[in-house]
Structure formats: structure tokens, C-alpha cells
Amino acid sequence: MSIWRVKPISAFEADMKKSDLKRVLTRWGLTSLGIGAIIGGGIFTLTGIAAHDYAGPALALSFVIAGIGCLFASLCYAEFASVLPVEGSAYAYAYGTIGEIFAWFIGWNLILEYMMGATTVAVAWSGYFVKLLHLFGINIPIWLCNDLHTATAKIIEHNKEFPHDLIDLPTFAFNLPAFLITWVVTAILVKGIKEAASTNNIIVIVKIAVVLFVIICGAFYINADNWHPFIPTEVPALDALGNATGKMNFGFGGVLTAATIVFFAYIGFDAVSTQAGEAINPKKDVPFAIIASLIICTILYILVSLVLTGMVHYDQLDKAAPVASAFSENGLTWAVFIITIAATAGLTSVMLVMMLGQTRIFLGMSRDGLLPPFFSKLHTTFKTPYKSTYLVGTIISIVAALTPIEKVSEMCSMGTLLAFGMVCVAVMILRYKKPELERHYKTPAVYLVGTLGVSFNLFLMTQVRHDTWIAFICWGTLGIIVYFAYSKKRAKLNNPQNEIEEIQ
């Protein structure tokens, strides 16, 4: 039982034929899912964190850097999707080319990617929802809409600004809005992919309209002085309580760190590939949707980041709701209502697509025997993996209620970067080993693009904070233990009737 065994292409084709998933997604339905996942966390939330703490006005450059890395990976994803149009994304691609151990490790990190991504967005949704309620005169206690660390930091800041209105530091905090929205999305996903896609399409139309509004309207309120210096001088990094961390922020290093933070916002095109099992014509439409959604959203990201840092000095941007705060600072209170409502709805669609992708990764791994049958059990009526959806909803809701947004967003980026790099390796291996396979889309200059994609993603991983690396290594170690303790012995490739290919 070699850990390098490869799942035959014929086995993937058999999986596609016997799949019980409903094929209802069109080309533009898939593209809409990609846009739904990409636009949201990056524009409505991470722009504030990345600009305020790391990149300043050069956040636009961070988006360019992250977008280039994603472009290399997206071209490789597109070729794979045309060859292996099955749920499982990068996990399935690696299983068919590099070997089981790599496939498992990628799948394990995709679990981290989507789970932490959805958690990040749930926390961001809470920030905008609380702001929306505030606009209508409804205020939620700080300890009931933040994790304990963030609630403590906010109360300390409040007490410094208003010493005559002191608030006691909390001993307990729970982000209730983040917890509740996770269960709303979970209920939609259990109902079915068609309902989820329809909900997403409506939200995406509203979201793009508001993003265009932000760009066009905000452009009239840009103060070019806010862009100087474009790349701020390096300064000592401080934690939420104002203590020095021993690191430096801003400078070009800060721009790179910001690129790793906003990178997670691009995983929408990866989510498209997880929906291949529910696409009507996956071999042609999935590659189109992957590239189209990435190009559209990258352009919008760059424009929005330039507008925001031009409207408000980067150190004045609100980290929880930067877009709304930028318009509020310029006296456009009427626009704040529109933006806050759209952001709240938009972040819902991001959560929907990320949790959708998460359950399909589980589904693919379970059908290969690497995870228990629990994860591939479909609902008799809705034909959705309802058990794993409920499990994912439980985990995300609890983590979102108790964890700071900065921590989970960086963990998500690590899983994304590794998966993208491995896909770039896998597509080169498949082109070399199986040149005869039918490819409806071919990555141009595949060996150059693949090499650049691997190098770029590994380089960005070196820019991630030390604490994130430690957590990532712990997660990876746990994954290897699970593989050897459970997955290796129960993989369906252990069946001697299956044709097992070995990478020599």
C-alpha cells in the first residue's frame, strides 16, 4: 500500500457517471458562484486590516501581487478542471497525478482553507450587521458581538477615549451575530444546490452594483494627499493592546504581508472547481468560470482599494467595516446605509460558497475512503451532503463566535497558498505523464506558468507571521497522523480490483 499510489483517470470518470449530485449549474451560474466567493471578504473587510496595519495606500499593490499569484494557479486549475471535472478541487487533481499522500495533505489543508475562510467572513458579517443595527439606533453590547480578545481591546480603547464613561473589562464574550448567520447559511445549503445558487445569484447582482457605486461615487471624494507616502515607512508592529510584537509593519515587507492576508479573498475560483460535480457541462464551463471570476474581481479589488485609501488616510480606516467608514468619514451618511446593507448581504454569499466548497471537499475525500462514510451521506430528498454540512456549520459557528478575525484569515491564507502551489506542480506532472488526455483547455506555456505559480505561492508563504506558521505546522502534523491512523488503511484504492498506478 504505497503512499504514492495514484487514482486512475478511469476511476474519476466512473465517479462522475454514478454521482447522485444534481447537475444544474450553467457557465454563468458557476462564474457567479466564483464572484460570490471572491467579492466580499477582500473588499468589505480585509481592506481595512491590510491597509491599516500593513500596507497603507500600497494595498492596491498587495492586491496586484496576490492577483498575479492567483493568475498562475487559476490557469493550472482551469486545465485540471477540463480533465477531471469532479468535486474535490485540488485534492482530486493531486490524487490523479502526484499521489495519495500529497492528495490527502492538500485535501486536509483545503479543509483548513474553507473552514477558516468561512469563519473569517462570519466575523466580518457580524461587524457589518452590528453597524447596520447601529444605523437604526439598535446597539448590541460589545461582549455579545465580539470574541473576548477583540471585546477587551475595544473597551480599553473606549476607556482611553472616554475616561468619564468607563466600561468594565469583560470576563466572557461571544460573537452572537457570527454564530447565527452561520446557521442561516447552513440551512440554505442543506436545502439544495439550486436554492443556494439562486440565492447567490441575486446577492451577486446587488453586490457588484454596490461595488461599482463605491468606485464611481468614491472617486469624487479622493484626496491624493492620502496616498502619500504610497508605501509608508516601516514602524514597530503593535498588538491589539498596544504592546510591541518585535516585528515591523509597512515598507515593502508590509505590502507582501498584506498580500498574504488578502490572498484568501481570491479562493472563489477554487470554490468553482469544487462544484464540477453539479455543473451541466463541467469540462468547458468550469475553466471559463475560474478565469472569468478571477479577472473580474481582481480589477474591482484594485480599484476599490485605491478609492478607499484615497478617501480616508489609511490609519483612520475602520478594520471591521472599512468601506462604510470611509464614506461616513466623508459625510456621505446616506451612502453608508446602502453599503452596509450590501456588505451584509454580500458577505452572506461568500460564506455560502465557502461552506459549499468545504462540504464538497469532504464529499470527494469520503468517496475515496480517506474520510468516514458520514461525510458522503446524501439527503434522500435534497441530494446534499447534509450531515457534513451540519458538522461544518457547528464548527464554524463556534470558532467564529470565539476567535479574532486576524487569526483565522491568516490560517486560511496558508491553506490556500499551499493548495495553489501543489496544483501548479500537479498540472506539469500530468502534462508530462498523460499527454494523450483530452484537454478542453490547456494552460499556456505550462512549465513556465506552473514553475512561476509554485515559486510565487511558496514565496508568499514565507511572508506569513511566525505564529501562523506554528499553527499551520500543528494542523499539518495532525493531518499526517490522521492519514496513517485511518485514511491509508481504508482508502478504496486498497481494493485489488482497482487499477493502481505508481509514479516512478
Could you tell me which residues are beta bridge partners of residue 6?
Answer: 501
Assess whether pLDDT exceeds 90 at residue 361. Answer: no
Q: Place 1 in a pLDDT band, splitting at 50, 70 and 90.
A: low
Q: What is the pLDDT of residue 332?
A: 87
Nearest CA to 293 out of 36, 76, 64, 85 is that of 36
Contact 231, 250 (CB under 8 A): yes
Contact 113, 419 (CB under 8 A): yes
pLDDT tens for each residue of 391-425: 999 999 999 999 887 667 677 777 778 888 888 99
Assess whether pLDDT exceeds 80 at residue 104. Answer: yes
251 compared with 85, residue with greater pLDDT? 251
Could you tell me which residues are beta bridge partners of residue 16?
Answer: none
Return the number of other C-beta atoms located less than 10 Å from residue 215's C-beta: 17
DSSP state of 5: E
Contact 255, 65 (CB under 8 A): yes
Assess whether pLDDT exceeds 70 at residue 335. Answer: yes
229 CB-contact burial (10 Å; exposed 0-12 / middle 13-18 / buried 19+): exposed
Q: What is the pLDDT of residue 496?
A: 45
Cell 447565527 maps to which residue?
180
Contact 420, 457 (CB under 8 A): yes
Contact 206, 154 (CB under 8 A): no
Average the pLDDT over 360-387 and give the result.
88
Average the pLDDT over 326-339 and give the result.
87
**Predicted TM-score of the model (pTM):** 0.79
Q: Report the C-alpha gap between 453 and 437 in whole angstroms.
A: 23
442 Rama class: left (phi>0) / alpha (psi -120 to 50) / beta: beta
pLDDT tens for each residue of 166-197: 888 889 999 999 999 999 999 988 887 666 66
Average pLDDT, the chain: 84
Report the length, in residues, of the chain: 504
Cell 497603507 maps to which residue?
56
Nearest CA to 405 out of 108, 139, 125, 159 is that of 125
Q: Place 455 in a pLDDT band, splitting at 50, 70 and 90.
A: very high
Q: Report the C-alpha gap between 423 and 83 in whole angstroms.
A: 13
Q: Place 501 in a pLDDT band, splitting at 50, 70 and 90.
A: very low
Tell me how far CA of residue 83 lies from CA of 273, 305, 370, 396, 428, in angstroms: 12, 36, 22, 32, 13
Contact 438, 83 (CB under 8 A): yes
Average the pLDDT over 51-66 and give the result.
91
Half-sphere exposure of 234 (CA within 13 A, CB side): 10
Contacts of 399 (CB under 8 A, 6+ apart): 115, 119, 408
% residues pLDDT > 90 (the chain): 27
Q: Place 247 in a pLDDT band, splitting at 50, 70 and 90.
A: low
Contact 354, 275 (CB under 8 A): no
Average the pLDDT over 366-394 and give the result.
90
